Each structure stands twice: as structure tokens, then as C-alpha cells.
């Protein structure tokens, strides 16, 4: 049930992010189009005012000027505007306030101080109104046309607010739908996982019987005729297949125990005990064994599985360490009070290896070399499952001729 809930939450999260991205794209595109259209409308009217010395022309001339702009003559004639003329020293010469009665000459003087004359156009805010302006040089002086763009800007703001509200409601509605139907959507996936686990467990038990018979028959053959290279090979392969089945069954059962109870464990003692078992075999193979373990490192884990985790990593390092190389085990505590276990080994050919696949089941890098090493390519997958149960992280990286497996546990 915990696995189902975890996958369901992941499904809902991914679906939520996708819906959020779609709605955000809708808001951005829709409001951007409106913004560009609104600015084009204001720029069109300002250009018409400049061309007609600060006034809206007659209907026929206005229709001709607005042709192809998408702005109607009725809409243009309803906009409020005014204009004034300045001399070279930006002193007011004359003004035309026919369209806006509420502005006085003192208001115009204050507006004049807000204008950016070097830019030639822009938008300012004055007493709660937004004014778009454009400056053009005429024979009579410097013509400044000002359009009350408050309605246009308010329309943009209202549209943005409305689209945000509608998107929020839509997002909540879609999340509700996804939440209701998420269980049904992921059920085939969950069933497939459960069937795979059941198949591995059942097949493992079924295979053990014929393997036991083969092993018994081989031993009987040796009692009758003595040990030969053929009976020895049969026993070796039988043991190899039995170990593989046991590992697969163990991995399947491990993934079913995501609700395992974690307790405080002395990681330092466990790591030292597990790694110490490999000191003799490593040195016997002509390699160097190094172990630096800080005392008192505690983690939330399950003691037996934690011991198995260290065993898998150190065994893997020993198997794939270069001849005469070094196997190193270090354990310390990070600044965030997390345990950091690093198991590394000399690996001269590891520079161009894809380490992202190391935790895949049955994956073994460099098959020609791996065939000489006992193993099934399943140990690191088991290690990754254990780390996941412990709510930690595991990674592999290569630097300076060494491959290092790093485990971070809370």
C-alpha cells in the first residue's frame, strides 16, 4: 500500500507540474498577445494625432488611416487625448485640451516635467491616470501628443487578473480530477510490478527443487565414479545458479519492504565490521586495503541490511580493482549531520564509462573483463534498493583513476 501511495503521489506531482506549465504558457501567450495589441492600438492613435497636428481627423480620413490596423474609427474617436507645442527650450507655446477638460495649464506643466524628451515616446502616470505620449518636430515647434491610455492599461490588468483566477480554478479542478482517477491510471503499472515480483519469488522457489535434484544426482555420480571435471563443472554452475536465484528473490523481497522500520544504528561499527572481513582477501590478491572510519556516526537504518550494503560495495571494489591497486573505505559525517560512506578502488579504464547504468540490474561494464569476475550484475542494484529504503542517496563517479561509490544516509 505504501508503494502504491508513493507512486500515486509521484504521478499526481508530475501531472500537476504539466498542468501548471500548460496554464502558465496560456497566461503568458494570451496576455502577451493582448499587451502587444494594446500597445499597437495606442501607437497607432498617437501616430495619427502626430500626422494631424494633435487632432483626430474626419471620419473618411480616419478610416483610411486605420485601414489594416484592426482598430475601428469609433474606438479611436472615443479615446481621450490632448496636445501642446513647445519651443526649443521646452517652453509651452500652445495647448489643445478639447478632449480632456479636467487638465489645466498647471497640470500640463507638471506632465511636461515627467516626459522623456530624448526618447521621444513613452508612458507616464499622473494622478491615477496613465498617459502615453509621442513627440514630433513640426514647423510650429515641438509637438507633443498625449493619449489617456488608462483604459487600455486597466484592460490589460483586468485580463491578467482574470486569466490568473481562471487558471487557478482550472488548476484546482484538474488536480481534483487527477487525484480521483490517479489510482486507476497507475493500477496497471502497479499490477505489473507486483506480478514481476511474484514471478521472481515463485520462479525462484520452483527452480530450487530441480537444482537440488541436479546437485544430489551429481554428488551420487561422484560417489559411484569419483569426481571428474564434468561433475565439478556441474556443481559449480548449480551453485552459481542457486546463488543468483537467492539474490533475485532477496532483491524482490527487499523492494516489497519499503515500510521497514528504521532505527538508530552505529554506522561506524557496522561499516568497520563489514569492511574488515575483506582486508585479508584484498591483501592476499596483492592489493592495498585502506580504511578510515570516523567513530560515532549514527544513521537511521536496519542493521542487517546496512551490513549487507557495506559488504556489497566493498566486495564490488575488490572484484574490479586493478591488479596492485588500492581499495579504500571511508566513513565520516557531513556538515548537515549526514553519514557519508565512500568505497573506491583503482580503475584505470574507467574514464569513459557510463556510471549512470551501474545500478541497473544485470549491468556489467566491459563484458570481456566482467566474464573473468564472479558476479551477476545484481549487487549494486540491491545496494541502491537498500539506500532507497534508508531514504538516502547513492552515486558513482570517476576521478584521478579511481571509481568511487558514495552513499549519503540521514
Is the separation of the CB atoms in 3 and 190 below 8 Å?
yes
Please tell me the predicted confidence (pLDDT) of residue 141. Answer: 84
Q: What is the pLDDT of residues 121-165, one digit of tens each?
A: 888 888 888 888 888 888 888 888 888 888 888 888 899 999 999
For residue 301, give the C-alpha cell: 537504518
Cα torsion through 253, 255, 258, 262, rounded to 10: 70
Give the residues across from 123 on adjacent strands.
132
Q: Return the domain boundaries, the chain.
A: 2-156, 263-409
For residue 133, give the C-alpha cell: 505620449
- Work out the pLDDT band at 193, boundaries 50, 70, 90: low
Please tell me the predicted confidence (pLDDT) of residue 27. Answer: 92
CB atoms within 10 A of CB 103: 21
Instruction: Tell me the CATH architecture of domain 263-409.
Output: 2-Layer Sandwich (3.30)
Is the pLDDT assigned to residue 348 strictly greater than 50?
Answer: yes
Burial 279-313 (b: 16+ CB within 10 A, else e): beebeeeebebebebeeebebbbbeebbbbbbbbb
Average pLDDT over residues 38-58: 80
- Work out the pLDDT band at 403, boundaries 50, 70, 90: very high
Q: What are the phi and psi torsion angles at 353 (to 5°)?
A: -90, 145
Amino acid at each position: 500500500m505504501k508503494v502504491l501511495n508513493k507512486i500515486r503521489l509521484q504521478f499526481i506531482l508530475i501531472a500537476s507540474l504539466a498542468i501548471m506549465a500548460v496554464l502558465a504558457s496560456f497566461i503568458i501567450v494570451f496576455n502577451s498577445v493582448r499587451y502587444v495589441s494594446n500597445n499597437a492600438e495606442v501607437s497607432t492613435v498617437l501616430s495619427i494625432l502626430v500626422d494631424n497636428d494633435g487632432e483626430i481627423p474626419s471620419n473618411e480620413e480616419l478610416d483610411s488611416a486605420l485601414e489594416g490596423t484592426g482598430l475601428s474609427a469609433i474606438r479611436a474617436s472615443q479615446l481621450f487625448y490632448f496636445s501642446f507645442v513647445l519651443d526649443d527650450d521646452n517652453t509651452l507655446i500652445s495647448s489643445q485640451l478639447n478632449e480632456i477638460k479636467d487638465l489645466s495649464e498647471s497640470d500640463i506643466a507638471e506632465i511636461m516635467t515627467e516626459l522623456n524628451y530624448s526618447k521621444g515616446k513613452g508612458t507616464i502616470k499622473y494622478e491615477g491616470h496613465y498617459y502615453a505620449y509621442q513627440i514630433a518636430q513640426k514647423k510650429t515647434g515641438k509637438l507633443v501628443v498625449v493619449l489617456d491610455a488608462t483604459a487600455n492599461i486597466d484592460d490589460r490588468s483586468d485580463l491578467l487578473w482574470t486569466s490568473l483566477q481562471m487558471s487557478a480554478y482550472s488548476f484546482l479542478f484538474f488536480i481534483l480530477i487527477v487525484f480521483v482517477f490517479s489510482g486507476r491510471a497507475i493500477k496497471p503499472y502497479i499490477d505489473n510490478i507486483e506480478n514481476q515480483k511474484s514471478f521472481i519469488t515463485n520462479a525462484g522457489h520452483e527452480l530450487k527443487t530441480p537444482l537440488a535434484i541436479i546437485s544430489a544426482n551429481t554428488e551420487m555420480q561422484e560417489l559411484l565414479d569419483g569426481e571428474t571435471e564434468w561433475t565439478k563443472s556441474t556443481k559449480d554452475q548449480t551453485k552459481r545458479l542457486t546463488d543468483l536465484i537467492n539474490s533475485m528473490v532477496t532483491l524482490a523481497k527487499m523492494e516489497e519492504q519499503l515500510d521497514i522500520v528504521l532505527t538508530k544504528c552505529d554506522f561506524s561499527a557496522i561499516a568497520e565490521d563489514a569492511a574488515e572481513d575483506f582486508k585479508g582477501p584484498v591483501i592476499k590478491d596483492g592489493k592495498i586495503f585502506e580504511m578510515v572510519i570516523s567513530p560515532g556516526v549514527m544513521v537511521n537504518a536496519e542493521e542487517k541490511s546496512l551490513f549487507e550494503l557495506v559488504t556489497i560495495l566493498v566486495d564490488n571494489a575488490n572484484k574490479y580493482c586493478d591488479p596492485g591497486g588500492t581499495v579504500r573505505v571511508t566513513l565520516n559525517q557531513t556538515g548537515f549531520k549526514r553519514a557519508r560512506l565512500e568505497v573506491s578502488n583503482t580503475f584505470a579504464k574507467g574514464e569513459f564509462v557510463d556510471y549512470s547504468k551501474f545500478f541497473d540490474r544485470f549491468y556489467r561494464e566491459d563484458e570481456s573483463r566482467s566474464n573473468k569476475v564472479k558476479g551477476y550484475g545484481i549487487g549494486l542494484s540491491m545496494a541502491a534498493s537498500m539506500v532507497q529504503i534508508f531514504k538516502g542517496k547513492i552515486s558513482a563517479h570517476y576521478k584521478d583513476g579511481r571509481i568511487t561509490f558514495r552513499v549519503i544516509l540521514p
